[in-house]
Amino acid sequence: MNPWFWMPVWVVCMVVGVACVAVPASAAEWVAAYTAEFRNEKDVSDHWWTRSSKAEIADGKLVLTPGGRRGRLGTYLYSHKFPGSVRVEAVLSVPPNIRSRDINFELLLHADVPVGTYERRGYEFQFRSRGSSCRLRRGRRTLKSASGESFRLASDKTYHILAERDDGQISLSIDGKQILSVTDDSPLESPVMNLVGLTGSRCTLRVEKFVVSVRKDRPKDVIDLTVVPAGPRITVTGPAMCARGYAAKHGLFDGCPHLAIYALDGTPGIKAEFDRIMDRFYPEKGLDVDEAVKLLEKFDEHLKYYIVPGPLANKDHTEHDYPSRILSVTGTFFERHGKKWIAATKIEPAKITYPAKMLAPDKPFVMPDAEPLILKVTDTLTLRCIKLPPGRYLRGSPFYEHPRWQDETPHEVVLTKPFYMSEIPITQEMFEAVVGKNPSKKIPGAWKTTRDRGFAERFRHKVPDEGPDFAVEHAEWADIQEFCRKLSERNGRTVRVPTEGEWEYAARVGTSSPCFTEKYLEQRSFIGDVEGRCEPVKRHKPNAWGLYDMVKSGWELVSDYKLDNVREKQVDPQGPPRRAAANHGSGPLRRTKGGCYYGDTHLNLHGACDELGNNEEGIMIFRVVVEAE
């Protein structure tokens, strides 16, 4: 046989970093580091964090029932971390009322809980009743699949699963039979991935036994977070959310779903430290991008605390998995592995007042050109556009800001070219004159899926806001593109929808100061309001760059497809590709900006809109930019 015949297979294996050869299970000696005792609900709440599902004890078993609109389940052992080699022994079954085709779950090794729409990293064994009965994945990559003859999943049958990772060697046995065994030539590095757990969808699981072991010769491969050393009792007050939402870069969060808090107030020493940082690192003029990054670093170094998992923290963590909340936390303080921890004995809602200089209106470091660009819309209609300078800023919400949402990760954005932005949103008169229709006069179709009919109608006025100087609402993406194309042809310039990077830069007048709602009260308008208070454009004060209605009830469309904020510097960002966009059932979503969500209005907040003009959070409007020559 030609020796080059096997070359393609060898190349593929080397590219993915996995040696595709069968290897025996590890001969290492293992000792149990955690053994689940499913006797009562407290055994679960003390050690496990359950997400998007229900966990309860029944007949000595942990019963995991999927929940949420997508029917998902997820439970993670968060009282212990396993940064090294680990073995999981699980005895579980699927109830008889679950159809065979719906058996769909995963056993996680060295995994993390994904942040927002980001993919889970780490190793996971996927169990399916259809297709490959089992496969080992690392992130998005499939390392190896079991053959269909290996075993088949069935309801009302108990399985004894043994999953093991010993350095780069990963193996799986079911009922004493080895199903998978591979060697990863570039294994995951600890301590980033350290979770074990179970996830799935549409499938209830009954867990009888769950034992996690580490190698006997590596006792440090387990970290028991429930062991609390002696320390002083402190109280901290500030914004809190899941620690995954407080990581500035990929790899800086360790995967474990802990609650974290930024201490902006508390015991005298903590309050003094906050005041010292503000005096030294927050100038009266506001923050440029470098100063904003430095301030975040100081807050992380001196004022960021993690809450030890347990029943008290577990409840609050579940409630604060996505939005921030202001909490007061009292407990024992100690340091471990370079982090500040609090073993909480009391957690309660609280209030804080931010310093006045944080709430002061934004002061731009550079002003736009005095000469505007006048776009010709029709022979009688024109649109004034402001020329904005290139610049750098910290896009997203700083971690100390409240309210904020988990997907608003702060990161530097560089815009290398000047551009013009229309001083107002596009009005109904302009849109109808160019495109020949006014979508504001119609009730849009159902948003999302047929199971959620009426979603968009909840965000419509009882009487449509019709008028020449009202913003056009719910225009379809194709019609917006037609509007831009015709204006481009008429003016000999490139007219388009702004990117999110351009829009937020313009709204914040190029600064990197936090976007507290209190800063924009004089600018805030009721354009696109869902409660019947809608008003025409240009009725309130502009921002310092002369742009009107950047802060309002409605949401402005940008060209970026929807995905959570990235965690690295971007230069002239265009957003993710269409294939990666979030999709809630009505097609790829684009981002929207500047609107109101649960009473919260801040410029780094974002929503989502489908291409038929139906916005997830409220009423969609838009404005345009013109590329500078």
Per-residue pLDDT band for 378 (boundaries 50, 70, 90) equals very high
Q: How many domains does the chain have?
A: 3
Q: Is 214 found in the same domain as 238?
A: no
Which of 301, 330, 359 marks a domain boundary?
A: 359
Q: Is 394 found in the same domain as 255?
A: no
Across the chain, mean pLDDT equals 83
> What are the pLDDT digits (tens) for 401-423?
998 887 888 999 999 999 999 99
Q: What is the model's pLDDT at position 14? A: 30
Could you tell me where the DSSP H helices lie in 211-343? Answer: 268-281, 289-303, 311-319
Which of 160, 192, 224 marks a domain boundary?
A: 224
Which of 195, 224, 253 marks a domain boundary?
A: 224
Instruction: Please give the backbone phi and psi of residue 349, each rounded to the nearest 5 degrees, phi first.
Output: -60, 150
Q: Is 578 found in the same domain as 439?
A: yes
Q: What is the distance between the alpha carbons of residues 399 and 252, in angstroms, rounded to a whole number?
A: 14
Section 96-104 average pLDDT: 82
Q: Is 405 found in the same domain as 531?
A: yes
Contacts (Cβ under 8 Å, ≥6 apart) of 100: 129, 153, 154, 155
Three-state DSSP class for residue 101: helix
Q: Is 259 found in the same domain as 139?
A: no
> What are the pLDDT digits (tens) for 196-211?
889 888 889 999 999 9
> Residue 406 is encoded by which pair of tokens?
């988990």
In a domain, 5, yes or no: no
Query: Does residue 447 carry a pLDDT above 60?
Result: no
Q: Residue 61's beta-bridge partner residues?
A: 58
Of 171 and 604, more confident: 171
In a domain, 6, yes or no: no
Q: Is 217 found in the same domain as 258?
A: no
Of 86 and 4, more confident: 86
Place of tokens 């004493």: 176
> What are the pLDDT digits (tens) for 253-304?
445 567 899 999 999 999 999 999 999 999 999 999 999 999 999 999 999 9
Q: What is the pTM of this model?
A: 0.80
Q: What is the distance between the alpha carbons of residues 136 and 255, in angstroms, rounded to a whole number?
A: 19
Three-state DSSP class for residue 501: helix
Q: Which domain holds residue 313?
A: 233-359
Q: Is 32 found in the same domain as 129?
A: yes
In a domain, 368, yes or no: no
> What are the pLDDT digits (tens) for 599-609?
667 777 778 88
What is the CATH number for 47? 2.60.120.560
Instruction: Please give the backbone phi and psi of residue 457, each rounded to the nearest 5 degrees, phi first.
Output: -65, -25
Q: Is 84 found in the same domain as 47?
A: yes
